[in-house]
Structure 1
């Protein structure tokens, strides 16, 4: 095949992901300094445990506000960092939140118990019955502990997204209760006009971000574009493509490699939101998603009728050519992970090599399209067949030695990887062993949480 290369593609001075990371890190660090300064200005308590409890509570409130910001789905942040990384950071902050709020409760109760010369349980009962809004704080802590337990990997994997999401909504109640407690009894809050202004601004900004990113923007886009199913095309016995059209799709800020949360408004599906990536580069006229039947939700797409209205949230994700830093690219896909890779094949710049890992050629979704696109743009398509645990002549099929043999100039390419978690992890590990820097390796997990 003839080779196609782009001329003079240069990495930006500062990558989009780096820019967004610096902005968020600086914002968080500045708020840590502000919270610490406000705590210091209010003066320490006469009891060390009470002082530690107050400080832990303030840091917990800050972590809670930033957790809201990370999952607000603001486009500027999401398309630079990606929902998977933002969700991971949200989860890490969640562990910090559990520790700080638990520490807040333990230190405060222990400190007051020491001052009153009573037991912790008795002191907790006294605080609940005598101090305003302490009961709210206890309820908020319980709700956060429950949400944290349900977000643990073991529990999350066994819950349907809708169940997890419904129970997680109670954390917003916890936010309201915690803020009410802070307003009523927080010493650094009550005694300082500057502290009150700061906390109101912080919480107001966090809640406004959630409202804008998760409610206002999706509703506005759906009212503007009026998405609906235009066609349902079986690709194989267990794979189906759904075409979605609408109004003014050329004005939708979507790129190849991104995904939407699709809610098909039929009688039996309106309550389900599923993350499916685009399987074709957007052309301003329609959007296409291609799904393999791996569960009841995805299997039911085959029965969708043309004309069904669609509520689509997105586009989301940083798995796009906006992060490409080299002239050429390597695309690695496994199974149905080919769908965003197939869209990227149309959009990625320079000469492209596509490695498609499947059990057999019959499992290669959209293979005819891939062959046609590869031929048109002079890309190299290699179908790697065989069981997932089968090695090739150079060891693991997507290990370092095999990748180097299949793509000798891999170090000079950006690499986009999408597939099952085990395959993705193996490929990323192999690329790391070959010395590729993280800036050249792009892998994104298309999921809602957990």
Structure 2
């Protein structure tokens, strides 16, 4: 395989185990569930406001002061509802993960952060103005009397914590944190919600004991924090003890890249699919406090599993040197970057760098007929061709076409490919002539992936046929 070249493998014969109509049927079923989840998301916010209005709130708009105060209450209820929805989306509930995928659930989770914060800020401001109008004080002077109300200081603390969480979630700020450091800060969102509970249940009689509103809000809190307790804490602990995972071997793949092999018990019962990821924690003095979202790089057997890790920072460097026998705890499996997400008759794969890891497991687990799959492997140098030999063997076994591109990114033309290929007029559609009838799976560095994804959209590929796996958080 020479630099800046494109190679092609022969295509043997065989048969497929899954028909395209079955995939489309599965997609439609997932789409209906996803639509129901989105509807429930927005309906919960509407229900929060509707219950307030239906249980006497509608009569509290008689004066300008009452109207401002009531609007403040409504914004607070909807904002709190959005925060609870965010917690549910981050809980990694299996039905949500299997339907919309972890990446999309977290994208929606993040998109609600700013609206929730703005609503809660409006809640505080409108209440200050409304109370000030009622008492004749200016809003600033009203802060003192408000803080004298029992549980109100906790509400201010909760709002302050939520502001910190939202600010640290901004991309420009988030990049300044390590994953673990940011994760610890993000746990403040749970504290922010919990410290505001007494305020919500006791102030103003809005959620009076025995009322439908009170039952609704308690149910929301139970759903949100029950989901976190179940799927982020209890279930991972139970799975870790049940499967007794340990490091069995660490294999050097390339400079700065290792494959970590695990031994365990009954691993097939996890029902993980090729392309999914787990969140791993290695119990050594240097690594126990770090959790690592890393994809499988091969399909597990009943007694073994494997991940492949590139040294991209302090955390990944530390786990690259773990010793055999190290105990490992985990959460997962997660993600929709699997064969189950397919809807089209053809399969196209574009992968770069360490993005090869989920693609290698995905290809091993995929159910395809010969000639159905086309794979493009991308690397900047020959040193970055991690696991390409394994992909080549799988491609031959599956009857897939395999192309490779090696070289620095082009300065003109499609920026995700080497300059010689871009200068020759190579395009995504020339590599994948059946792109419109293909599911396109893309994995690699985020900036590079965005270029390929934009190119695919310009080529007209339907959104539901576009599948990406990003290595950011």
The two structures have a TM-score, normalised by structure 1, of: 0.94
Q: Which residue in the other structure is 1:288 paired with?
A: 306
Q: Deviations 1:159-216 (Å, cap 9, x if unpaired)? A: 0122112222222221112111110114331276111111111111111111111011
CA deviations on 1:23-82 (whole Å, 9 max, x unpaired) are: 322222332342222111222434211011010011012111101100011122113222
Select which of 83, 87, 101 maps to 1:68.
87
Q: Give the direction of change, closer, same or farther, for the CA distance of 1:388–1:17 in structure 2 (3 Å limit).
A: farther
Query: Could you say which residue in structure 2 is the equivalent of 1:364?
Result: 385
Partner of 1:397: 417
8 Å contact kept, 1:250–1:283: yes
Is 2:44 aligned against 1:2? no
In structure 2, list runs of 5 or more residues that go unmatched. 1-9
Q: Is residue 444 of structure 2 the alignment partner of residue 419 of structure 1?
A: yes
Whole-Å Cα distance in 2 between the matches of residues 55 and 228 of structure 1?
Answer: 51
| 8 Å CA contact 2:310, 2:316 repeated in 1 | yes
- Aligned to 2:395, which of 370, 374, 384? 374
Q: Is the 8 A contact 2:409 2:416 kept in 1?
A: no
Cα deviation code 1:259-303 (max 9, x no counterpart): 111111111111111111111122333111111111122122332
Alignment-derived partner of residue 170 in structure 1: 188
Structure 2 residue 32 is the aligned partner of structure 1 residue 12: no
Paired residue secondary structure (1:122)? coil
Partner of 2:432: 407
1:399-420 CA distances to partner (integer Å, 9 max, x unpaired)?
8961111121222211110011
Partner of 1:38: 51
Alignment correspondent of 2:251:
233
Tell me the distance in 1 between the aligned counterparts of 2:437 and 2:247. 41
C-alpha deviation, 1:137, in angstroms: 0.8
Corresponding residue SS for 2:288? coil
1:54 aligned partner: 73
The 8 Å contact of residues 338 and 365 in structure 1, kept in 2 or not, is answered as yes
Give the distance between the partners of 2:156 and 2:183, measured in 1 at CA: 22
Any unmatched runs of 5+ in structure 1? none
Between 187-196 and 417-426, the greater mean CA deviation after superposition: 187-196
CA gap 1:365/1:372 in 2 versus in 1, 3 angstroms: same
Instruction: Output the CA distance in 2 between the equivalents of 1:275 and 1:220.
Output: 19
- In angstroms, what is the RMSD of aligned CA positions? 2.0
- The aligned counterpart of 2:39 is 26
Taking structure 2 as the reference length, the TM-score comes to 0.90
